[in-house]
A and B are shown apart, each in its own frame.
Chain A
Amino acid sequence: MRQFLNERLPLEAFSAHLRKPLPKHINLLFSLGSLAMFLLILQAVTGAFLAFYYSPSPEHAHNAVTYISTEVPFGAFVRGLHHWGASAMVIVVVLHLLRVVLYSSYKAPRELTWIFGVLLLLVVLGFGFTGYLLPWDEKAYWATVVGVEIASTAPGLGDFVAKVMRGGTEIGAVTLSRFYALHTIWLPWLAFGLVGVHLFFVRYYGSSGKPENTPEEMKTGKPFYPDQVFEDVVGMLILFVALAAVALFVPVPLEDVADPTNADYDPRPEWYFLFLFQLLKYFQGPFEILGTFVIPTVGMLLLLFLPFLDRSERAVLWKRPIALTVTSVCVVGIVVLTILGGTSKKLETTEAAIQETTQPTEQVQGAATPDTDAETVDEGEAVFDFQLTEEEIEGAVEVEEGQQ
């Protein structure tokens, strides 16, 4: 059998390639790429199985997800693996990126490996964004409303892009259908294509090793197969056991079915978008676009072209003061913003206050009853930023009378 295959396929060459020695001093951090790959496969497999029971329509999606979680054998576990796997994926991909920054592995000749890696990070975030609309619960709906609105603030084509994302002017059946298509067809194809190119570059240039490795040490470490593969597989086992434990013991949240009229709901994105959510609070009025478009876009472009911006000698991060400062500020900034976003107080409103928010509009339209009930409402004053003053209401009455 082996001879048959050897005569037809370059197995010996492939085997020799796999057994090529890695650089010396390769540590566990070098398994993060393999773990990301493992999670990508796990997400693809669990997602493909979840698709057996899912229906991407507003009438069915929430019921289908409830059915998966409560009635299908192993359904809660499979959904748990997929849901928590997405979070694990973001963590592992970011740690992988930080490892590459730490050892300055993105420098020449590995610029292309880095660029395709950053593109994969974007695809992973795209998976997250398109994925959490699918249960069609309150969180899904409102986080997507906000996400698409963020896209609409992009100068020039923003509104057009938002309409394309929604498949119209509001989030509904067409949005859910296209997010499902993106999540299950377009992004997986893109991801596996990018992984293919990324892996090609990884194997072509070989592992970067540590910056302090001498040229001799770059060729005299343990072989990729079986030594590194074994360590990677042990890492995968530990990760899988942890993920399975979380999937078994931590129920995946599913909120009430999406209600576009629910003013009580405080939208919050998934934890990995909380930093952006928090950032948006600091840019108000004409500066809104800084938080929604300029900072994320510039940040991503800087990350993408990092190998061409940082042309310093290859060295470990703490010997590169500028890189260390920028990386630390970014990491600490994102962590702090995420914590602030996660712990930010939700808006406390009373039923009376919610009803009250509609009052001023009615008064302007009717322009006849200046004595509002607002005086009787003590709580939730922050809600009434747009509350009309008596002068304004009288002004509106005068304008209307003038028109008559």
Chain B
Amino acid sequence: MEKRGRRSFLVFSKNWATAFIGGIISLAAGIPLIGFAISPAFKKAESKWVDLGLADRLKNSRFKKVDYTFTAKDGWVQATKKRSVYVTDVGNGEWSVFSRTCSHLGCLVRWDENQESFLCPCHGAIFDKTGAVVAGPPPEPLQKLETKVEAGILYVKET
């Protein structure tokens, strides 16, 4: 009877010890592995000023579509990134530069001159010329990029 009791205690201990060691190995391997996989999510995006061209050439009371490229580090690659924005000068040296990326699910919006609105082709979102949501599902206005003019050249801040 006593022998059986000791045996069942041994079985119980070994079960728990096995589970404990398995847990230790899983954690010791799992934490670095998960950290390794999800680390890009914690990486701060680098911001940089990107040259859009001569401010005089871009001066326009209407929104003008500007496509541009810039280089940025993408993992182990120095990649050429392409971007598209709508640019207009609002007077007094102020500029409005909107990202074309819809704040809903990332489709590219188009400026409609007749409606004076940005229209999203995906889910019917409409933004006014200040980027505010007029209709549709977007939770936020269009992203307005920071600008500066130096030596007659218009720069936007890429993040």
Instruction: Tell me the chain A residues, 73-99 only, with Cβ under 8 Å from chain B.
Output: 73-75, 77-78, 81
B34 to chain A, nearest CB (A): 9
Q: A236–B17 Cα gap in the complex (Å)?
A: 13
Given contacts A63-B76, A63-B77, A240-B28, contact A233 B22 (CB under 8 A): yes
**For A52, what are the chain B residues with a Cβ–Cβ distance below 8 Å?**
36-37
Task: Tell whether, in the assembled complex, residue A49 and residue B37 are in contact, meaning their CB atoms are under 8 Å apart.
Answer: yes
Q: A78–B34 Cα gap in the complex (Å)?
A: 10
Task: Let me know if B32 is at the binding interface, CB within 8 A.
Answer: yes
Q: A390–B39 Cα gap in the complex (Å)?
A: 66
Task: Tell whether, in the assembled complex, residue A226 and residue B36 are in contact, meaning their CB atoms are under 8 Å apart.
Answer: no
Instruction: Tell me the chain B residues, 131-149 only, with Cβ under 8 Å from chain A.
Output: none
Task: Let me know if B93 is at the binding interface, CB within 8 A.
Answer: no
Task: Tell whether, in the assembled complex, residue A78 and residue B33 are in contact, meaning their CB atoms are under 8 Å apart.
Answer: yes
* B14, B22, B32, B76: the one within 8 Å of A66 (CB): B76
Q: How large is the interface on A (under 10, 10 to 19, 20 to 34, 35 or more residues)?
A: 20 to 34
Residue of B nearest to A19 (CB): B11
Task: Tell whether, in the assembled complex, residue A233 and residue B21 are in contact, meaning their CB atoms are under 8 Å apart.
Answer: yes
Task: Let me know if A17 is at the binding interface, CB within 8 A.
Answer: no
Task: Tell whether, in the assembled complex, residue A49 and residue B76 are in contact, meaning their CB atoms are under 8 Å apart.
Answer: no
Task: Tell whether, in the assembled complex, residue A45 and residue B33 are in contact, meaning their CB atoms are under 8 Å apart.
Answer: yes
Task: Tell whether, in the assembled complex, residue B11 and residue A226 are in contact, meaning their CB atoms are under 8 Å apart.
Answer: yes
Task: Let me know if B105 is at the binding interface, CB within 8 A.
Answer: no
Given contacts A230-B18, A237-B25, contact A78 B32 (CB under 8 A): yes
Q: A226–B7 Cα gap in the complex (Å)?
A: 11
Task: Tell whether, in the assembled complex, residue B36 and residue A78 are in contact, meaning their CB atoms are under 8 Å apart.
Answer: yes
Task: Tell whether, in the assembled complex, residue B25 and residue A230 are in contact, meaning their CB atoms are under 8 Å apart.
Answer: no
- What 0/1 pattern do residues 14 to 41 of B give for CB contact below 8 A with A? 1101100110110011001101110100
Chain A interface mostly: helix
Q: A299–B57 Cα gap in the complex (Å)?
A: 77
- What 0/1 pattern do residues 15 to 26 of A give for CB contact below 8 A with B? 000000000000
**For A73, what are the chain B residues with a Cβ–Cβ distance below 8 Å?**
35-36, 39
Q: A60–B76 Cα gap in the complex (Å)?
A: 8
Q: A64–B77 Cα gap in the complex (Å)?
A: 8
* B15, B21, B29, B33: the one within 8 Å of A234 (CB): B21
Residue of A nearest to B11 (CB): A226
**For A63, what are the chain B residues with a Cβ–Cβ distance below 8 Å?**
76-77
Residue of B nearest to A38 (CB): B25
A301 to chain B, nearest CB (A): 38
Given contacts A229-B18, A230-B18, contact A67 B76 (CB under 8 A): yes
Given contacts A63-B77, A67-B75, A67-B76, contact A49 B33 (CB under 8 A): yes
Residue of B nearest to A75 (CB): B36
Residue of B nearest to A46 (CB): B33
Residue of A nearest to B15 (CB): A226
Task: Tell whether, in the assembled complex, residue A226 and residue B18 are in contact, meaning their CB atoms are under 8 Å apart.
Answer: yes
Task: Tell whether, in the assembled complex, residue A74 and residue B33 are in contact, meaning their CB atoms are under 8 Å apart.
Answer: yes
Task: Tell whether, in the assembled complex, residue B24 and residue A237 are in contact, meaning their CB atoms are under 8 Å apart.
Answer: yes
**For B36, what are the chain A residues with a Cβ–Cβ distance below 8 Å?**
49, 52, 72-75, 77-78
**For B33, what are the chain A residues with a Cβ–Cβ distance below 8 Å?**
45-46, 49, 74, 78
Interface residues of A (CB under 8 A from B): 42, 45-46, 49, 52-53, 55, 60, 63-64, 66-67, 71-75, 77-78, 81, 226-227, 229-230, 233-234, 236-237, 240, 244
